[in-house]
Chain A
Amino acid sequence: MVEYISKIQKISKKILQDGKVDIIIGFSSGSLPMASRPSFIKSPEDADKLIFDGNCGINLANYLAGRKEKIGIIAKGCDSRNIAQLIVENKIKREQLFIIGVPCFKMIDKRKISLLFEDEITQVTEVGDKVIVKGKAKEKTFNREDLLQANCITCTHHNPVIYDELAGELIKEPDQKDGYEDVKKIEAMSSDKRWSHFSEMLSACIRCYACRDACPLCYCPTCFVDEAAPQWVGKSADNQIDVKTFHILRAFHCAGRCTDCGACERACPMSIKVREFTRKLNSDAMRHYEWEAGLTTDKRPLLDNFRVNDYQDFIK
């Protein structure tokens, strides 16, 4: 970790000094534990503020769409896939970017720590595969493995797919196994059961759109939920049909493009597992078209293509 940080700082300083980039998008420490925050560094001196740890789960690709300057960006596996996706979708140009790739050692879900640690947390330190949490009155050591962000557990792309320089050694990716057990569980439900499952899950939604705002795929000038004519969907959180409509359509807009970076779920203040929708679509994309989003910059997203031999058994 420490090596990562010094490498990130070194590279950042150099490319800023050399004028290769105008700005670095990375992380710096937050004012509270486990709140590493996205930072925009413009001068070489400030490069020392850059850090990297298990709390850098926010997808930095989200800050790229439409920017015009030359940018250095810290990219985990998922960030890099979203960067690739943004390049394909004309939101940023490859030439504008200097990508500092970070082979990802999986991110921590701070909610899991909060649930397991009753005291107010004052310090969290990651040491190898352990996480030491200090409170006002006590201290507890956890296995890092037990605290991971849900999407990191099933992730098969920890290494960045595109980068200009690496901040660490590439790591061995886990064997590509069908990691969609969660999706299969929901698929196995009866339609009534599934309906009540989703109804219950979404009943907590307050329509704050944090999931949308955290998602690097959601860059439309006007989101469909904000349009008045036509009014695709009602605005209030009271009408459960409108709430469901919002979540289903948001997921559809991500179909074939989602990298399962987990930004949406991480951002949700109500802890709604919104990834259940996007995961279903990712699983279908994999099952029927062997497609994973953001792995190349030379192919349009899955649903932008049509091939005569596409899977079409669902029509029969």
Chain B
Amino acid sequence: MSDWEPKILAFLCNWCSYGAADLAGVSRMQYPPNFRIIRIPCTGRMSPKFILSAFKQGVDGIWVSG
């Protein structure tokens, strides 16, 4: 159990958080790879259905940011 890593899916707003994730790259900040980003045009686009669907796919955590 100790080496278990959660799978995290992020829905990031194109205008802010997605750019911030780009910036994290430019700044070479390091974070674990078990993390995927889906670019959405605005967090307004975010539907609870996406969250439930991702959980159903076995994702452990969801991050919505924008």
A residues in contact (CB < 8 Å) with B: 224, 232-233, 241-242, 244-245, 248-249, 252
Is the pair B56, A249 in contact by a Cβ cutoff of 8 Å? no
A-B contact count (CB 8 A): 20
CA distance A68 to B66 in the complex (A): 43
* A232 proximity list for chain B (CB < 8 A): 49, 53
Q: Contact at A224–B49, with CB atoms within 8 Å?
A: yes
Which residues on B are within 8 Å of A, measured CB to CB? Answer: 48-49, 52-53, 55-56
Contact residue among A241, A249, A252 (Cβ-Cβ distance under 8 Å from B55): A241
Among residues of B, the one whose C-beta sits closest to the C-beta of A231 is: B53
Contact B48 A241 (CB under 8 A): no
Closest chain-A Cβ to B49's Cβ sits at a distance in Å of 5
- A245 contacts which chain B residues (CB < 8 A)? 49, 52-53, 56
In the bound complex, CA of A233 to CA of B48 (Å): 12
Determine the residue in chain B with the shortest Cβ distance to A232: B49
Interchain CB contact under 8 A, A248 and B55: no
CB pairs A–B below 8 angstroms (9 shown): A232-B53, A233-B52, A241-B55, A244-B52, A245-B52, A245-B53, A248-B48, A249-B52, A252-B48
A contact residues around B56 at 8 Å (CB): 241-242, 245
Known contacts A241-B56, A244-B52, A249-B49; 16 additional CB pairs below 8 A are: A224-B49, A232-B49, A232-B53, A233-B49, A233-B52, A241-B52, A242-B56, A245-B49, A245-B52, A245-B53, A245-B56, A248-B48, A248-B52, A249-B48, A249-B52, A252-B48
Distance between A3 CB and nearest chain B CB, rounded to angstroms: 47
Q: Given the complex, which residues of B lie within 8 Å of A233, measured CB to CB?
A: 49, 52
Contacts of A242 in B (CB 8 A): 56
A252 to B47, CA, bound (A): 10
**Alpha-carbon separation in the docked complex, A249 to B50 (Å):** 11
What's the Cα separation between A245 and B53 when bound, in Å? Answer: 8
Distance (whole angstroms) from the CB of A225 to the closest CB of chain B: 11
| Bound Cα distance A249, B49 (Å) | 7
Nearest CB in chain B: distance from A87 CB, A? 26
CB distance from A43 to the nearest CB of B (A): 46
Using CB atoms, name the residue of chain B closest to A245: B52
Shortest CB distance B62–A (Å): 14
Find the residue from A242, A245, A252 having the highest chain B CB count within 10 A. A245
| Chain B residue at minimal CB-CB distance from A253 | B48
**Complex: chain A residue closest to B55, CB-CB:** A241
Looking at the assembled complex, report how far the CB atom of A241 sits from the nearest CB atom of chain B, in whole angstroms. 5
Q: Which residues of chain A have C-beta atoms less than 8 A from B49's C-beta? A: 224, 232-233, 245, 249
Residues of chain B within 8 A of A248, CB atoms compared: 48, 52
Chain A minimum-CB-distance residue to B44: A306
Closest 3 CB pairs of A and B: A245-B52, A241-B56, A232-B49
Nearest chain B CB to A201 CB, angstrom units: 17
What is the chain B residue whose CB lies nearest that of A244? B52
A248 to B56 alpha-carbon distance, docked (Å): 13
CB distance from A101 to the nearest CB of B (A): 36
Q: Shortest beta-carbon distance, B56 to chain A, in Å?
A: 5
How far is it, in angstroms, between the C-alpha of A252 and the C-alpha of B52 when the chains are bound? 12
CA of A249 to CA of B53, assembled, Å: 11
- Kindly provide the distance from the CB of B17 to the nearest chain A CB, expressed in whole angstroms: 12
On chain A, the residues within 8 Å of B55 by CB distance are 241
Give min CB distance, A308 to chain B, whole Å: 16
How distant is the Cα of A248 from the Cα of B48 in the complex, in angstroms? 9
Considering only CB atoms, which chain A residue lies closest to B48 in the complex? A252
- CB contacts (< 8 Å) of A224 on chain B: these are 49
On chain A, the residues within 8 Å of B48 by CB distance are 248-249, 252
